[in-house]
Homo-oligomer: A and B are copies of this chain.
Amino acid sequence: MAGPPRKPKTSESARAITADLVAVLVAVTDGEPKIMTIAYAGALPSGPFEFKHRSLQSGLRTWVEQQTGHPLGYVEQLYTFADRGRTGDAKSPHSISISYLGLTREDQVGPGSEAHWSGWYEYFPWEDHRAGPPALLGKLLAPRLRAWSKSAPSAALQRERWQRAAITFGFDDREWNEELVLQRYELLYEAALIPEAVRNGNGAAPVVPGRAMTADHRRILATGIARLRAKIKYRPVVFELMPAEFTLLQLQRSVEALAGRLVHKQNFRRLMEQQQLVEETGAIAADTVGRPAKLFRFRHAVLAERAVAGTKLPLSRT
């Protein structure tokens, strides 16, 4: 091991990169899904990963808790991105983004910082089907995507494009699949219908409603929403977004907020009951309209009792 001191390995530094942590922090307030944003709602909170952190996850928790002043509950890794030119500057240090999904409650977040809660449907207006398919789907997206399909060089490609659009957006009487958030975003990106896709010049292409974000943050957000929409169907994660006590309707509204579609009330209750995910607190909800509802709490025991709790959602077809 002894020997002449060596020069620092500069060849190594050619491969050196930096790592950023990006968080999709979700809360549901008054039946609306929110995400934490910075930079005037134009970016997701992110910070550098430093090696004083024990692990990626603890690094994320550390700075999120610094920013929000409150411990983070459920955390799950989403995806790692590292496309060259992500930052648009070839000279800038190359960076890898490791994204996470985190669940909290809005009222747990302290003041200060530039953090801000934004409704997530501001970024994806076409994803909210709680009041039926949004008008912009048929009025705006369908014709634009049809035009994009027609612009393909061959007839086969034209059909393929429209088929993809129809499947992901539920055109031509197909069913709406709320989990295809990312596929829809990527299709719109490919069709150059959103600002991120036409950012670097290329003229001002026609653009569809929905707020944009820096870099690929909106793509990360789409990934997070898709993951969460899939997860609530087989894991009891909704409860991370609920207060300690809640009525079944409040719980249902939260699920509907995330899924972007309505569920059948009676079936939803039947499911909650037979899976024993909740238990009555004995109290009755105050300040409500209509017949008073029982208050419930999450049965934390289920997490220990079974490994996978199938929290199926009775989604309405209408």
State which of B15, B94, B168, B183 has its C-beta within 8 Å of the C-beta of A48: B15
Q: Does A179 contact B (CB under 8 A)?
A: yes
CA distance A53 to B308 in the complex (A): 38
Residues of chain B contacted by A103 (CB below 8 angstroms): none
B308 contacts A177, C-beta separation under 8 Å: yes
- The interface stretch among A79-87, A120-128, A129-137, A200-208 is A79-87
Q: Does A111 contact B (CB under 8 A)?
A: no
Q: Does A54 contact B (CB under 8 A)?
A: yes
A308 contacts B179, C-beta separation under 8 Å: yes
CA distance A53 to B307 in the complex (A): 39
CA distance A168 to B84 in the complex (A): 41
Q: Does A160 contact B (CB under 8 A)?
A: yes
B56 contacts A80, C-beta separation under 8 Å: yes
Q: Does A28 contact B (CB under 8 A)?
A: no
**A5-17 interface bits toward B, Cβ cutoff 8 Å, 1 = contact, 0 = none:** 0000000110111
Residues of chain B contacted by A306 (CB below 8 angstroms): 167
Chain A residues bordering chain B, tally (CB within 8 A): 40
Residues of chain B contacted by A83 (CB below 8 angstroms): 54-56
CA distance A51 to B304 in the complex (A): 44
A12 contacts B17, C-beta separation under 8 Å: no
Q: Does A248 contact B (CB under 8 A)?
A: no
How close is A55's CB to chain B, nearest CB, in angstroms? 5
B19 contacts A304, C-beta separation under 8 Å: no
Interface centre among A55, A80, A94, A180 (most CB of B within 10 A): A80
Residues of chain B contacted by A15 (CB below 8 angstroms): 18-19, 48-51
Q: Which of A10-35 contact B (CB under 8 A)?
A: 12-13, 15-19
**A90-117 interface bits toward B, Cβ cutoff 8 Å, 1 = contact, 0 = none:** 0001101010000000000000000000
Q: Which of A153-180 contact B (CB under 8 A)?
A: 160, 163-164, 167-168, 177, 179-180
> Which residue of chain B lies nearest to A93 when distances are taken between CB atoms in the complex?
B12
- Sampled A-B contacts (6; CB under 8 Å): A13-B16, A15-B48, A17-B19, A51-B94, A177-B307, A183-B307
